Structure 1
Amino acid sequence: MPVSVTLTDVRAARDLLDGVAVRTPMQSSRWLSELVGGPVLMKAENLQRTGSFKIRGAYVRMSELSAEERARGVVAASAGNHAQGVALAAQLLGIQARVYMPEGAPIPKLNATRGYGAEVVFHGSYLHEALAEAIAHAERTGAVLIHPYDHPAVVAGQATAGLEILEQAPEVRTVVVPLGGGGYAAGVALAVKEQCRAEGRPEPRVVAVQAEQAAAYPASLAAGHPVPLTQMKTMADGIAVGTPGEVPFAAIREYVDEVVTVSEESMSRAMVLLLERAKLVVEPAGAAAVAAVLDDPTRWATPAVTVLSGGNVDPLLMGKLIRHGMAAAGRYLQLRVLIPDVPGGLAELLQRLAEAGANVMDVAHERVSTQLHLDEVAVRLQLETRGAEHAEALVARLRDQSYDVRE
């Protein structure tokens, strides 16, 4: 299938979105720049209206509907970000909207979608199940399906972010962007490459990033056509898509230079660092580009732009992700230490930990075990450290002091 979106379409979408979508800020990142060895910037799409880029494509798609189509209403399927984009666009355009969400969709995304006036219906456990029901609803009622990524107008709308990237970072050499179904990554890559060609300037390298447990594109690109995943499991609901869209697939094959994957631990760690160092709240999918940079800091030509695609995250999930990210970064350490079963044995161990600068969060005694001698006690510890190097030094120090330490 040929690429069905042109630079002219993208420029028209930009004009259409004037006053609707926010021109999101481009922030420099000193800590990422120091790590990479050159300028690294962050395109903060998490600060877009509705908390993600989705309003761009949803509004462009819905604005082209005829009066008769608008009267029939629209239907969409989303884990949350597209839902909010459709709901806000429908509100602005005076269109009735119904959104199907998978069970377990983040509560803030649910509440925001309803807050924009859309009807929300839960269906299935995964996005593809909700999407199938949305398609069925469109066939039953005549409502217009607003696909989250597989439509030329949606891709053109998302592509407007690519034009902004070039305007805000004209010397950019690498663009790193999250990838799910493909609408956003395809649009950004197309806009960046085609605009550079139109201006006769060097094209930046575009790298798209998927969650490794929901990565449909590597196999699809190898096969030359979209290949559905048989299973996926990731906390990054914003890019948890089992089958690439036909429209974005063509553009990604044409314009994206490389697709890489990142682990759950990498995304958690990136989220924590963005919160700590940049003071930005970013959801797991939105942190995927930064996670890729953190995984291999030496490979990126600079200036580089990492796209933070969304910031809609449940506060309860955020707490879990912060703990997960801190563990991935070596900030939490769990040890099992054998000590003599004598008065003061535990106190001495805790003193050693305090001297090493570790904060004890939890302590548990294990006195009865076939693995223990009669004069031994196992102490299970959960510690807070300053990072991976501190954790390694702490374990080495305990062993030097003749403690039997198991991680």
Structure 2
Amino acid sequence: MSTATAAEQAQSLTPAAIRAAHELIKPYIHLTPLLTCATLDKIASTPQTASALVGTPFEGQAPATPHLRFHFKCENLQRIGAFKARGAHHALLRLIEERGEEEVKKRGVITHSSGNHAQALALAASTLNIPAFIVMPKISTPSKIAGTRSHGAEVVFSGSTSIEREAVVAEIQSKTNAILIPPYDDFNIICGQGTTALELEAQYTEKSTKSLDAVITPVGGGGLNAGVATYFSDKTTRVFGAEPSFQGGDDCRRGLGEGKRVEKVSTLTIADGLRTPVGVLNWEVISDKRKVEGVFSVSEEQIKAAMKLVVERMKVVVEPSAVVGLAVCLFDEDFRRRVQEQGGEEGWDVGIVFSGGNTTVEAIGKLFS
């Protein structure tokens, strides 16, 4: 995809496109709940300790005193346990509209993914009776591999980087002529993921007379963040992104600082769904300050601390990737000062997308052993 083409496509990413996607996929997805947690609100609204700021640009300064009220969009309870079911169904339904059911069935579809998009496309293909080939890194979570295979997809293993994955995809395509449905860098994928925001806003406004102050989502390939930002692009709600910092996993944050998309990422962060670089089309959206106000990053320990709080205080099972947004709200002093300064005494109502819950008891035990 050329930069010019991405720029042109970004112009077509509108709230109307998100609404149209939602109408198409509604029969195939769950309306996931929007939960609150007064305990987490209280914890997040408590200033951090002075020791927590040691080694940061805010060392020696008074900690921020933000007022935060969370609204958690629980995509961990979506079909296949992640928001990816939205984009996969939308992309496959649009592909059938464009190419015809006969051609798509004859050729089949292919993608590469560490797990959640893999399971999502496998489910969508099974539902619509389309053959599917899924390229997965050898180090993918066993439960995600099993989940993908359970829907009848043919799983082929690869190395962990996006370059290694794409090489195996090309090899299979040369043999099968399967049609690629990208995991994140795709117009229809982005529109499907953006339906998360449409539902989140509708569920929030059922109980509130005002708009959400902000929404924060994880950023891996960027499909979810770009879709959410697209939906809110004509509204007052601010959109932010969150990434893991481990081994350069914060490519989007770094790219925004440098004014240039980072093309390669090689990280083994525990947030395994966020190990990929931001896609070209997604970058066009996320790098537009009118749509995404900023992207923040958090450490492995901060991700684990946020995950522990969600499991213990909310009794909700999430994977590490799902809680990077919450971790930013809890630990990123720059973000917390922004809430304090812009929200004042009233504070902010923040929508947080729990992107997925595809983990296992063994994996959680290993994380916290």
TM-score bracket, shorter-length normalisation: 0.7 to 0.9
Mind listing any 5+ residue stretches in structure 2 that lack a counterpart? Answer: 1-5, 46-66, 206-210
Give yes or no for the alignment of 1:320 onto 2:355. Answer: no
Q: Is the 8 A contact 1:166 1:192 kept in 2?
A: no
Residue aligning to 2:208? none
**d(CA) in 1 for partners of 2:256, 2:168:** 27
- Aligned match for 1:17, one of 22, 25, 28: 25
Give 3-state SS (helix, strand or coil) of 2:140's partner.
coil
Give yes or no for the alignment of 1:6 onto 2:6. Answer: no
1:87-98 maps to which residues of 2 (within 5 A)? 87-98=122-133
Q: Is the 8 A contact 2:159 2:165 kept in 1?
A: yes
For residues 290-342 of structure 1, what are the alpha-carbon distances to aligned partners after superposition, in whole Å with 9 as ceiling and x for unaligned?
A: 1111104744341111111000013221102233xxxxxxxxxxxxxxxxxxx
Residue aligning to 2:198? 163
Cα drift, residue 132 of structure 1 = 2.8
Q: Is the 8 A contact 2:212 2:350 kept in 1?
A: yes
- Which one is further off, 138-147 or 204-213? 138-147
For residues 57-90 of structure 1, what are the alpha-carbon distances to aligned partners after superposition, in whole Å with 9 as ceiling and x for unaligned?
A: 0111111222213320001111110001000000
**d(CA) in 2 for partners of 1:85, 1:275:** 24
Q: Is the 8 A contact 1:107 1:314 kept in 2?
A: no
- Aligned match for 2:356, one of 292, 307, 310: 310
Task: Give the aligned residue type for 1:83.
Answer: A
Task: Give the aligned residue type for 2:245.
Answer: E
Q: Is the 8 A contact 2:15 2:233 kept in 1?
A: no
Give yes or no for the alignment of 1:232 onto 2:267. Answer: yes
Give yes or no for the alignment of 1:45 onto 2:75. Answer: yes
**d(CA) in 2 for partners of 1:38, 1:257:** 18
1:5-404 maps to which residues of 2 (within 5 A)? 5-35=13-43, 36=45, 37-65=67-95, 66=99, 67=101, 68-170=103-205, 171-194=211-234, 196=235, 203-213=236-246, 214-229=249-264, 231-241=266-276, 243-254=277-288, 255-296=291-332, 298-299=336-337, 300=339, 301=343, 302-323=348-369
TM-score (structure 2 length as normaliser): 0.82
Give 3-state SS (helix, strand or coil) of 1:303's partner.
strand
Cα drift, residue 204 of structure 1 = 1.5
Cα drift, residue 223 of structure 1 = 4.2
Cα drift, residue 48 of structure 1 = 0.4
Q: Is the 8 A contact 2:266 2:275 kept in 1?
A: no
Task: Give the aligned residue type for 2:27.
Answer: G
Cα drift, residue 9 of structure 1 = 1.5
**d(CA) in 1 for partners of 2:241, 2:174:** 34
RMSD: 1.6
Higher share in strand = 1
Cα drift, residue 282 of structure 1 = 0.5
**d(CA) in 2 for partners of 1:139, 1:5:** 31
**d(CA) in 1 for partners of 2:129, 2:117:** 18
Give 3-state SS (helix, strand or coil) of 1:18's partner.
helix
Cα drift, residue 230 of structure 1 = 5.4
- Which one is further off, 63-72 or 125-134? 125-134
Cα drift, residue 131 of structure 1 = 2.9
Q: Is the 8 A contact 1:46 1:52 kept in 2?
A: yes
Cα drift, residue 287 of structure 1 = 1.1
Q: Is the 8 A contact 1:43 1:308 kept in 2?
A: yes
**d(CA) in 2 for partners of 1:182, 1:48:** 19
**d(CA) in 2 for partners of 1:70, 1:64:** 14
Cα drift, residue 138 of structure 1 = 2.3
- Aligned length in residues: 315
**d(CA) in 2 for partners of 1:64, 1:279:** 37
For residues 116-136 of structure 1, what are the alpha-carbon distances to aligned partners after superposition, in whole Å with 9 as ceiling and x for unaligned?
A: 111111111334422331133
Task: Give the aligned residue type for 1:273.
Answer: L
Q: Is the 8 A contact 1:174 1:207 kept in 2?
A: yes
Q: Is the 8 A contact 2:240 2:293 kept in 1?
A: yes
- Which one is further off, 296-305 or 74-83? 296-305
Mind listing any 5+ residue stretches in structure 1 that lack a counterpart? Answer: 197-202, 324-407
- Which one is further off, 168-177 or 271-280? 168-177
